Structure 1
Amino acid sequence: MGDCATAQKILVVEDDQDINALLAKIMRNEGYEAVQAYSGTEGLLRIESDAFDLILLDMMLPGMDGMSFVARLRGELLSSTPVIVVSAKAGLADKVDMLSLGADDYIVKPFEPEEVAVRVRAVLRRSGDASARETDGGGKTYVFKGLTLDETARRVMLDDAEITLTVSEFDILSVLIQSPDKVFSRERLYELVWKSGYYGEDNAINVHVSNIRKKLAAIRPDEEYIKTVWGIGFKLS
């Protein structure tokens, strides 16, 4: 559990009062400070007036749904605050849409409190590791076929163009570029990036890899950077 004086702040955006209260309780039991919002509009107002370490977000919200919320967060507000979607919508298309927009993880209702706690710890640990690298300058720079990944600045350049990646996309590319000849299974990528138990989120890895490919292809459409090794996983090409 965290120290109250330095507690990380979690924004819970959920219109169901009971579920909102439960998520806030789970976060407080873990030592975090929980701030509650009951609509997408209220959630954005909170973000505009305060800084948060992570957002727990429902998809079906009054006024502004979860998809519009993430689109505004990543687009207009240019916020990189990690987002974990907590939704009753369990369809693959819903997960793909939210991850494609820039969500970092997706939990399906009904959920176990420990699963929420583990996922939050994992995402916060990754964002905390990134902050530590930025502070102490201990990161390295990797280069592959005109692609440059700077761990310290969390920056990716292709030729002279900067590639904007989400936290998850950057971390996946970082794992791949550090061992360009190695094939990583989806399970191993999930464990290395989320640093927690594997929850069978093959589709999350697939969507993030697809997002990376699209962003790189926008600069170099004829160059393949991430190769799918059928039946195994991914490697740099």
Structure 2
Amino acid sequence: MKVLIVEDDSAIAANLYDYLEAGGYEVDVAANGNAGLQMALADSWDAILLDLSLPGMDGLTLCRRLREEAARDTPVLMLTARDALDDKLAGFVHGADDYLVKPFSLKEVGARLGAMIKRYRGQVATMDLRFADVRLDLSTMTVERAGRPVKLPPKCLHLLRVLMQSPHRTFTRAELEAEVWGEELPDSDTLRTHVYTLRRALSRPAETDVIETLHGVGYRLATSGGDAK
């Protein structure tokens, strides 16, 4: 997922960049309003983090031009030091989707950003997770690949759910072990064995492997696939 940060405070921009990139986002930064609008229009973004007070063009004007002149509906999370109700209302009137007052928690930025993107994609009410031609029905915890049923043991099912909730994000071995096994951490080869089982179940000989191994780092979902050695 691609996120544009429009923020003139270099320290805040760097913190946001590092946090979101570590979370699997593809991130770029604009340091003023004019550059921000140009970058917002030059590419397709899943969301924009937009500071209200910017040199060149303020955030309200940028957001209004994005909506009215360019007819772009990219989700916008407005970031500002102003906490007055009128300022918040002005942000919404000009097209912002959500609003955060500085100083803010990076975790809250991540949570609001994820929720905003899900709403934009219409994923809030759905009980399905999808990646490529893989579908996980959360209501029944059943899996299909290109329409064919895929039977998985419980731990592999849990592992797939974690990976599909953040497609393209690279999960470290430690993160996946904590997510799937909790405090009862498995033996060193247990995760590798489960990834191998999951990979074999999902991918028939003619099908693309959707699990990619980043050696020495961890695993992620990717259409290119990868070796699990």
TM-score in terms of structure 1 length: 0.51
Q: CA deviation at 1:81?
A: 0.2
Alignment counterpart, residue 109 of structure 2, candidates 116, 119, 127 = 116
Q: Deviations over 1:22-64 (max 9, x none)?
A: 1111211211011100011101111221110100000000010
Residue in structure 2 matched with residue 66 of structure 1 by the alignment: 59
Q: Which has the higher helix share?
A: 1
One-letter amino acid of the structure 1 residue matched with residue 116 of structure 2? V
Equivalent runs, 1:17-166 vs 2, <5 Å: 17-129=10-122
Is residue 2:8 matched to residue 1:15? yes
Structure 1 distance, partners of 2:115, 2:124, is: 14
Q: CA deviation at 1:132?
A: 11
Residue in structure 1 matched with residue 202 of structure 2 by the alignment: none
**2:81 touches 2:102 (CA, 8 Å); kept in 1?**
yes
3-state SS of 1:107 partner: strand
Q: Deviations over 1:159-215 (max 9, x none)?
A: xxxxxxxxxxxxxxxxxxxxxxxxxxxxxxxxxxxxxxxxxxxxxxxxxxxxxxxxx
- Give the 3 Å change call, closer, same or farther, for CA 93–131 of structure 1 in structure 2: closer
**2:78 touches 2:99 (CA, 8 Å); kept in 1?**
yes
**2:118 touches 2:124 (CA, 8 Å); kept in 1?**
no
Structure 2 distance, partners of 1:131, 1:69, is: 27
- Give the 3 Å change call, closer, same or farther, for CA 31–123 of structure 1 in structure 2: same
Q: CA deviation at 1:131?
A: 11
Residue in structure 2 matched with residue 214 of structure 1 by the alignment: none
TM-score in terms of structure 2 length: 0.53
Give the number of equivalent residue pairs. Answer: 126
One-letter amino acid of the structure 2 residue matched with residue 29 of structure 1? A
Structure 1 distance, partners of 2:60, 2:11, is: 22
3-state SS of 2:3 partner: strand
Q: CA deviation at 1:129?
A: 2.3
3-state SS of 2:122 partner: helix
Q: CA deviation at 1:70?
A: 0.7
Equivalent runs, 1:177-196 vs 2, <5 Å: none
Equivalent runs, 1:160-175 vs 2, <5 Å: none
Structure 2 distance, partners of 1:131, 1:112, is: 23
RMSD: 1.8
Q: CA deviation at 1:17?
A: 0.6
3-state SS of 1:75 partner: helix
Structure 1 distance, partners of 2:65, 2:46, is: 17
One-letter amino acid of the structure 2 residue matched with residue 100 of structure 1? V
Structure 2 distance, partners of 1:49, 1:114, is: 28
Residue in structure 2 matched with residue 231 of structure 1 by the alignment: none
User: Gaps spanning 5+ residues in structure 1: where?
Assistant: 1-7, 134-237
Structure 2 distance, partners of 1:20, 1:27, is: 11
Q: CA deviation at 1:130?
A: 6.0
